[in-house]
Amino acid sequence: MNNLQFDYLKHVTDGLDRHAVLDELMAAYGKDVWHFAFFITHSKETADDVTQDVFVKVFQQLYEFRGQSSIKTWLLAITRNTARDVLRSAWVRRVVLFDTIRSRTGTSPSAERESMDKLMTEELWAIVLKLPRKLREVLLLNSHYGLSMQEMADMLQVSAGTVKSRLHRARAAVNRKLAQEASWTGEEEWT
């Protein structure tokens, strides 16, 4: 949202209240921040906490944003670091975290295609969530958030070549797992 970035910079230079800018950022990126936090932590409650912490940090650091990256990249970097800090905390290390991904019910009985698509999506997410963290991150940042190789490299503090390699390995791992599951169920491979 380049327009939002422009509006944000205009608000900062015009001296608009930080609360108004924070409200805009939360409305525009709140869901992205929560979903990324959930993707890293695998816990709805922890994702709620991380999201809250992220926007507290954003409020405190609002005038430190220099525009060297997009606002979305900046927010996702803060989210990543906050979620990783939470996962490293002594409390989390002592607690066994369980996967909380459950399929939802309530699809229309006549919507067979919708059900199949939903099942495939759930299977795909289950596969992606089992990938090592480094591979999960780049896959999500690229596929879901649409970040470029350079934006991901800057955010993750690695080279663009490393990002490209991780993304290739992540896609290959997902494809391998999908092929294995298709062969176990007797289905043909997807091309």
What's the CA gap between 22 and 164, in Å, rounded?
Answer: 33
pLDDT digits (tens, 9 = 90+) for 44-60: 888 999 999 999 998 88
What's the CA gap between 112 and 186, in Å, rounded?
Answer: 20
What's the CA gap between 59 and 26, in Å, rounded?
Answer: 10
Q: Among candidates 133, 134, 128, which has minimal Cα distance to 164?
A: 134
Side chain identity at 76, as an amino acid letter? L
User: Which has more pLDDT, 88 or 173?
Assistant: 173
- Predicted model pTM: 0.56
Q: 3-state DSSP call for residue 29?
A: helix
What's the CA gap between 182 and 143, in Å, rounded?
Answer: 23
